[in-house]
């Protein structure tokens, strides 16, 4: 017996899309939490934004050494505006994906963030083209083109009622 629903998407497909959306959202949201509070995972205690430390300086200055775009990324490392935009991006993208709202904006901003992070690592060490940033960007591309995915175990239906005809906000 098929579990197809009216729109042609099965319950298992909806659950899979929701888990993918929420899982990727958690990756962004967790990065925000760790960098904001310095929980000792990627960000050491005492090195957090709340402790007055730059959340971009270490990676952009030292993590890009020997990379093609090192000079560019080192020049913006530690800039308070770059730090704030990075943190707001992680928070906004993460919450949008977890909640299933604003998937188009989250998709575009997430793709830009992932492409910037990917370019900071060029040339790549393990694979000449693909790394996790490109895979995340491809997943975000799906959510950009499929904002209905926010309705699957998310607040997408409610959000659609709020934004109305402003489909760019879906």
**pLDDT score, position 5:** 54
Average pLDDT, stretch 34-51?
Answer: 93
Mind listing the pLDDT tens digit for each residue in 87-107?
999 999 999 999 999 999 999
Mind listing the pLDDT tens digit for each residue in 58-95?
999 999 999 999 999 999 999 999 999 999 999 999 99
Rounded to 5°, angle at Cα 79 from 76 and 80: 155
Average pLDDT, stretch 101-127?
Answer: 95
Q: Say how far residue 64 (Cα) sits from the centre of its chain.
A: 20
* Cβ–Cβ < 8 Å for 169, 104: yes
Give the whole-angstrom CA distance, residue 76 versus residue 60. 8
| Residue 165: other Cβ atoms inside 10 A | 6
109 has pLDDT over 90: yes
Average pLDDT, stretch 134-155?
Answer: 94
Q: Where are the domains of the chain?
A: 11-169
pLDDT bucket at 1, cuts 50 / 70 / 90: very low
CA atoms within 13 A on the CB side of 151: 11
Mean pLDDT of the chain: 93
Measuring CA to CA, which residue among 23, 26, 16, 21 is closest to residue 155?
21
């Amino acid at each position: 017996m098929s579990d197809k629903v009216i729109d042609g998407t099965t319950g298992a497909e909806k659950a899979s899309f929701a888990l993918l959306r929420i899982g990727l959202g958690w990756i962004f949201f967790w990065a925000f939490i760790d960098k904001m509070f310095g929980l000792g995972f990627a960000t050491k205690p005492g090195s957090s934004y709340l402790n007055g430390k730059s959340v971009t300086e270490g990676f952009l200055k030292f993590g890009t050494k020997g990379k093609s775009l090192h000079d560019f990324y080192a020049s913006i490392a530690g800039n308070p505006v770059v730090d704030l935009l990075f943190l707001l991006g992680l928070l906004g993208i993460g919450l949008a994906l977890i909640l299933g709202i604003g998937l188009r904006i989250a998709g575009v901003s997430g793709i830009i963030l992932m492409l910037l992070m990917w370019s900071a690592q060029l040339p790549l060490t393990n694979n000449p083209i693909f790394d996790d940033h490109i895979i995340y960007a491809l997943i975000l591309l799906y959510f950009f083109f499929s904002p209905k995915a926010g309705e699957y175990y998310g607040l997408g239906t409610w959000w659609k009622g709020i934004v109305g005809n402003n489909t760019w906000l879906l």
